[in-house]
Amino acid sequence: MLRAGLGRRSRCCGGLWRSPCPAAASGSARALSAASASPSPGSGGGARSGDAPPAGASNVKPLDGVKILDLTRILAGPFATMNLGDLGAEVIKVERPGAGDDTRAWGPPFAGTESVYFLSVNRNKKSIAINMKDSKGVKLIKELAAASDVFVENFVPGKLAEMGLGYEDIKKIAPHIVYCSITGYGQTGPVVQRGGYDSIAAAVSGLMHITGHEDGEPVRAGVAMTDLATGLYTYGAIMAGLLQRYKTGKGLHIDCNLLSTQVACLTHVAANYLNCKIEAKRWGTAHGSIVPYQAFKTKDGYIVVGAGNDHQFVTVCKILNLPEVSKDSRYKTNTLRVQNRKELIDILSTRFSEKATTEWLQLFEGHGVPYGPINNMQQVFSDPQVLHNGLVMEMNHPTAGRIAVPVPPSDTASVVINFSCLEHV
């Protein structure tokens, strides 16, 4: 019903809504079709195909029938709504006419002309371009909101209210709505008008201060963990909001922001300061409170080993053929090992450097000690457990051709995931 309504709207609202299909785009305006993909049979090697399972009660997804109006861009919001789409929600992604989501231009790399970054977080969505600076565009957003269960946005606080699309505005026409705002710093406070990007929030929250080599400069994590964590908090908060609405019959406003997410994720590092006034520092791959728990250089690479208790430490020493170290009074407990970190790590590092990584992996296998190699991407996606877990989805894209994206494991909580990519209304 909503889809039909959108189809009619596309024929009567002029420049407010442009069909993302290339055939429907007029002039030189670029059509918003970058993430449309159709499932295709898997090619083996652990990759999953997007083939839909047969219809039936056993294939009902948790969020079947839930409609989400998604006004988010970049990463945190799209990541949250993509995960909701994986659980069966119908996600309508609203983008700017012409340019679309900023990440459509983020590259290289590109798959054909499509940004691989954009493709990675926008499956399970339908794309629509609406000019929200136009009163007719605002009216259309309200009509969509009235027919939706969830409204997600990541504009600077107050921006949508100026357009008549803030929570109080939408609540009047959709009192049932679960309205979720994602911002850099929250809805109120001294810096809420600042733009919020992952790296900035990681810096302000202290994450960069504790990331990097012990004597080196602050380092940004290899992926945008603050954005991704905020997306997961958002995902959980929306699920909880839907459950609360089920119990109360009323909608609500959810406030998620990058700064609060990352400060909360400081966990024990924050607790060390709050309770003991211990200032945090960078530890490289090591851990401030557990020794040994870090990467060790081998003859040809690295291995990460963690001894989370005294028994595991004794086992590590046995594998390394260093029984005298496990009996040394300086290393009998974790507290002592932390206090005598440098001497112990020097001993272990010397021994690890004597063999190749694969040799150490074979020696550690089956002993109950956490360990693993530091893999590059080629090694990650040829790892037997990654292949077994089916963490890659392959599908056909109308302009990019064959694409592949990382996905959650298909059997998580016995949930049947819908892996169709962006459709177009």
- Helix (H, G, I), strand (E, B), or coil: what is residue 70? strand
Q: 341-345 contacts: CB < 8 A, separation 24 or more?
A: 341/286, 341/291, 344/291, 344/292, 345/286, 345/291, 345/292, 345/294
The pLDDT score that the predictor gives to residue 54 is: 53
Residues 237 and 235: their CA atoms lie apart, in Å, by 6
Given a contact cutoff of 8 angstroms between Cβ atoms, the answer to whether 257 and 103 are in contact is: no
Residue type, 208: M
Sequence-distant (≥ 6) Cβ neighbours of residue 14 within 8 angstroms? 136
User: Tens digits of per-residue pLDDT, 212-265?
Assistant: 999 999 999 999 999 999 999 999 999 999 999 999 999 999 999 999 999 999
Phi, psi of 112 (to 5 degrees): 65, -120
Residues 191 and 137: their CA atoms lie apart, in Å, by 29
Residues 149 and 250: their CA atoms lie apart, in Å, by 11
Residues 311 and 289: their CA atoms lie apart, in Å, by 17
In terms of Cα–Cα distance, which of 148, 144, 149, 107 is closest to 128? 144
Given a contact cutoff of 8 angstroms between Cβ atoms, the answer to whether 152 and 71 are in contact is: yes
The pLDDT score that the predictor gives to residue 335 is: 98
The pLDDT score that the predictor gives to residue 408 is: 86
How many helices and strands (H and E) does the chain possess? 17, 17
The pLDDT score that the predictor gives to residue 396 is: 82
The partner residues of 38 in beta bridges, in order of sequence, read: 396
Tokens 């990460």 identify what position? 304
Cis peptide upstream of residue 22 (ω within 30 degrees of 0): no
* CA end-to-end span of the chain: 12
Strand ranges (E), 6-82: 17-18, 38-39, 47-49, 67-71
Residues marked as catalytic: 227
Strand ranges (E), 21-155: 38-39, 47-49, 67-71, 90-95, 110-111, 114-115, 125-130, 150-153
Given a contact cutoff of 8 angstroms between Cβ atoms, the answer to whether 21 and 33 are in contact is: yes
Tokens 């989501």 identify what position? 101
Residues 100 and 130: their CA atoms lie apart, in Å, by 10
Dihedral of the CA atoms 10, 15, 16, 22 (nearest 10)? 60
- Give me the residues of the chain with pLDDT under 50, please: 1-45, 51, 412-425
The pLDDT score that the predictor gives to residue 24 is: 31
In terms of Cα–Cα distance, which of 53, 139, 92 is closest to 414? 53
In terms of Cα–Cα distance, which of 210, 196, 193 is closest to 261? 196
